[in-house]
Amino acid sequence: MIPTSDQLEFRALAREFAAGEIRPHVETWDADRNLPDALFATLAELGFLGMRMPEAHGGLGVDAPTFAMVVEALAWGDASVALAVAIHNGPIPRALEGWGRAEQQERWFPALAAGDVLGAFSLTEPGAGSDPAALTTRARSRNGTWVLDGTKSWVTNGDRAGLILLFARTGDEDSGREGISAFLVPRDTPGIRVTGRERTLGLAASETVSLELDGVELPENALLGAPGDGYEIAMDALLVGRIGVAAQALGIGQAAYEHALRYAGEREQFGRSLHRFGAVREKLAGMAVRLSQARLLTLDAAVRLDGEPGDDATHLPSSPRALSSMAKVAASEAAMWITDEAVQIFGGYGYMRDYPVERLMRDAKGTQIYEGANEVLRMVVAGDAVREFDGGS
């Protein structure tokens, strides 16, 4: 795709913001394991928290490629910031727009668009990661209310959020994916307790928590869609979620590439700069190739998510599900490879926390795992490839 002037302008705004307001503080945020409240107020003021909310409800209503470009630019500044923005703008509005009733949209979209409420996505549980159909959190209908009990893990924005899109089992224990339902849960509902803040290898400033639900009572209209729609809602929401992760990975990789390129030009060994050595040039070329490939695939997946037809004549997997999975795999693995090579170019300095590539390498690893581990996403892609070979059966 060829970016429009509006897309380039919005991306430039995000990159300028990342350079001036994020990068100067990123090491402090990483060490403190925290993003300041004032940052989210500024993100809201600039429109970054209303990107994917409909214009009719006060949002910007940007398309998926623009969303991906902005998330990449923010991740170039700090992946933890980009992750918070991507979760808020990705799975949450996708699900609310696709399955929400008018009164639900009117209640939540304006607050989400203005940044008055931050969104969180809660699917994973201690025993249900790659297999969400195995989740055990229960939602029981009782006297005109829903009562939720269980434990959720890896909830990004989970403590700061005002709205949690949460998935629980409304069917019996053997109902599998057909027994899962989705709920719009206000974070301040009594009975919700944060039981732990995760200490992760990377993305240290990201607020990722575990939640305990103990007799959480919700009105009937907290149900999103119909009982049993939860699995379909989650899988659809993850399409944009995976594009968001791919964009984060691109931002991480781009930052590492730029740091390595600059360092190789400044650092001298044996009387000449590092970028005069063939081995280093090969690394830099590999970085550029991988970044370009992954970025094109990510934008292609974003375009397809918005309803543009794919190129079915290639007999390659081209559904939104397959493309978002491929984009996430390609971008996250590119980021991991690029940051590894960047650390190698920096040498001993790259292994020290005084230099940024060490943090970028830690951040990159997470993108290979969350929103679907890459091994699982390869199974998704392979399934679509087999169906294409079998004529769609």
Q: What is the pLDDT of residue 268?
A: 85
Q: Residue 143 is encoded by which pair of tokens?
A: 């006297």
- Own/partner pairs, 264-268, CB within 8 angstroms, 24+ separation: 264/345
Task: Return d(Cα 54, Cα 56) in angstroms, integer.
Answer: 5
pLDDT in tens, 12-27: 999 999 999 999 999 9
Would you name the residues annotated as active-site residues? 371
Q: What is the pLDDT of residue 313?
A: 58
**Percent above pLDDT 70 for the chain:** 98
Instruction: Compute the average pLDDT of residues 28-34.
Output: 96
Task: Return d(Cα 320, Cα 307) in angstroms, integer.
Answer: 9
Mean pLDDT of all residues belonging to the chain:
94
pLDDT in tens, 302-357: 999 998 766 665 678 888 999 999 999 999 999 999 999 999 999 999 999 999 99
Sign of CA dihedral 300, 177, 218, 225: positive
pLDDT in tens, 267-285: 989 999 999 999 999 999 9
- Own/partner pairs, 15-20, CB within 8 angstroms, 24+ separation: 15/73, 15/76, 17/42, 17/46, 17/48, 17/74, 17/77, 18/73, 18/74, 18/76, 18/77, 18/78, 18/81, 19/77
Instruction: State the DSSP H helix or E strand holding residue 389, giving kind and residue range, or none if neither.
Output: helix 374-389
Q: What is the pLDDT of residue 61?
A: 96
pLDDT in tens, 223-241: 999 999 999 999 999 999 9
Task: Return d(Cα 296, Cα 284) in angstroms, integer.
Answer: 19
**pLDDT reading at 88 higher than 70:** yes
Q: ∠ CA(129), CA(131), CA(117), 5° rounding?
A: 55
Task: Return d(Cα 389, Cα 391) in angstroms, integer.
Answer: 5
Q: Residue 392 — very low, low, confident or very high, per pLDDT cuts 50/70/90?
A: low
pLDDT in tens, 129-167: 888 889 999 999 999 999 999 999 999 999 999 999 999
Instruction: Compute the average pLDDT of residues 214-222.
Output: 97
pLDDT in tens, 180-201: 999 999 999 999 999 989 899 9
Q: How far is CA 86 from CA 26, 69, 191, 242, in A?
A: 18, 11, 27, 10
- How many Å from the N-terminal Cα to the C-terminal Cα in the chain? 30
